[in-house]
Amino acid sequence: MKLLPSPLVCRDAVELVSDYLDGTLSRRQRRRLEKHLAQCDACSAYLDQMRATIAASGTVGPEDLPSEVVEGLVNLFRQYRADE
Amino acid sequence: MDDAELLKSLLGGDESAFSELVRRYHSTLVKVARYYVASAASAEDVAQDTWIAVLKGIEKFEGRSTFKTWLLRICVNRARTSGVKEHRSIPVDPNESGPTVSAHRFDQGGFWSDPPVPFTEAIDTRLDNTAVLNAVRDAIDALAEPQQAVVTLRDVEGLSTQEVAALLGLSEANVRVIVHRGRARVREIVEEAMKGSKI
């Protein structure tokens, strides 16, 4: 008799979310997680939060650098061009 | 303008193309360098040296990789050398095997006792909300190494797991674990920020 995998609890489900979103879970793990998500609003909310966090990370864009950092590097550029 | 166009202008000596590339990548270079070197000041030095190396090497850049990959490789090589000189050991995640969500948020059976409050509506529909993006940026800035470098490369710069692994000399499995832990930490910090300020 083949043993059925035990159902996931939330504490373990949250540890699979990142790999799930990257599509790197095994088929068996993915099914276990999806089965859990279908019945668990809180873990679905966690998944949504993680998805939104990753999306926002990809859109934060470059930090506003302090102007003196940019100026310092532009001065290096000028110096380099002048020495060439 | 995309990187390739900026590079073309830079080859022609265009100063504004250089400052745009600096604005685009300098903070990422600092974060990546910080993974290898002992201090924020050293990381700044490595990033600065990277730009000088770019200026020196740009005419030899053959475009076999993207500019971004080439730039990051220069940075990593320089940071590694500096790190060795400083006798710095590469940081490892101190809680690599612990849970990413505090145990106190679950009951004894492992189910949520303090469930996450959905922020889908707040964050998804307001991606242009500067406050939300700032919360995410601050959270990434607050990450410890190696999470900060790895999350920046993977999620901010959009490199694949394989690319991050190759660049930093880590296994793909290791990158996946670090990304997982870093993302969970960013989510946690943003959740706290949102609870606090109702952004």
CATH number at residue A42: 1.10.10
pLDDT value at residue A5: 65
Token readout for A79 is: 């110096």
pLDDT value at residue B197: 57
Q: Residues of A with CB below 8 A from B109's CB?
A: 9
Q: Is B98 on the interface with A (CB under 8 A)?
A: no
DSSP state of B158: -
Is residue A1 included in any domain, yes or no?
no
Token readout for A52 is: 């939104």
Average pLDDT, chain A: 89
Q: Residues of B with CB below 8 A from A58's CB?
A: 155-156, 158
Alpha-carbon distance of B185 to A57, in angstroms, equals: 13
Alpha-carbon distance of B8 to B15, in angstroms, equals: 12
For Cα atoms B56, B59, B64, give the angle at the middle one, nearest 5 degrees. Answer: 115
Of B112, B117, B133, the CB nearest to A10: B112
Q: Is A23 on the interface with B (CB under 8 A)?
A: no
Token readout for B198 is: 């109702």
Residue B112 to residue A42, Cβ atoms within 8 A: yes
Of B115, B127, B183, the CB nearest to A50: B183
pLDDT value at residue A18: 95
For the whole model, what pTM was predicted? 0.89
Q: Residues of A with CB below 8 A from B179's CB?
A: 18, 22
Is residue A64 included in any domain, yes or no?
yes
Is residue A4 included in any domain, yes or no?
no
The Cα-based distances of B125 to A9, B121, B129 in angstroms read 30, 6, 9
Is residue A3 included in any domain, yes or no?
no
Residue A60 to residue B136, Cβ atoms within 8 A: yes
Radius of gyration of chain B (CA): 19
CA A80 to chain centre: 39
Is residue A60 included in any domain, yes or no?
yes
User: At residue A58, what is the residue type?
Assistant: G
Alpha-carbon distance of B66 to B48, in angstroms, equals: 20
Is residue A73 included in any domain, yes or no?
yes
| All domains of chain B in start order, with CATH | 3-85 (1.10.1740.10), 103-197 (1.10.10.10)
* pLDDT tens column, A8-34: 999 999 999 999 999 999 999 999 999
SS3 B129: coil
Residue B110 to residue A11, Cβ atoms within 8 A: yes
Is residue A47 included in any domain, yes or no?
yes
Query: Which residues numbered 32-71 in B keep a CB inside 8 Å of some CB on A?
Result: 48, 51-52, 55-56
Of B24, B111, B123, the CB nearest to A56: B123
Residue B48 to residue A73, Cβ atoms within 8 A: yes
Q: Min CA distance, A3 vs chain B (Å)?
A: 22
Q: Residues of B with CB below 8 A from A50's CB?
A: 183-184, 187
Q: Which residues pair with B112 in a beta bridge?
A: B106
Q: Which residues pair with A55 in a beta bridge?
A: none
Residue B190 to residue A57, Cβ atoms within 8 A: no
pLDDT value at residue B199: 45
Cis peptide before B146 (omega within 30 of 0): yes
Q: Which of A10, A36, A57, A74 to mutate to test the interface with B (most CBs of B within 10 A)?
A: A57
* pLDDT tens column, B51-81: 999 999 988 888 888 999 999 999 999 999 9
SS3 annotation, B41-54: HHHHHHHHHHHHHH
Mean pLDDT by 10 residues, chain B (199 residues): 91 93 95 94 96 92 89 96 85 73 93 83 54 85 93 96 96 94 93 68
Q: Report the domain count for chain A.
A: 1
Q: Is B136 on the interface with A (CB under 8 A)?
A: yes
Is residue A5 included in any domain, yes or no?
no
Residue A49 to residue B191, Cβ atoms within 8 A: yes
Domain holding A36, by residue range, is 10-83
Q: In sequence order, what E strands does B33-141 have?
A: none
Query: Which residues fall within 8 angstroms of residue A11, CB to CB, at 6 or more apart?
Result: B99, B101, B103, B106, B110, B111
- So what's the ipTM on this one? 0.87
The Cα-based distances of B133 to A62, A84, B122, B179 in angstroms read 11, 41, 11, 19
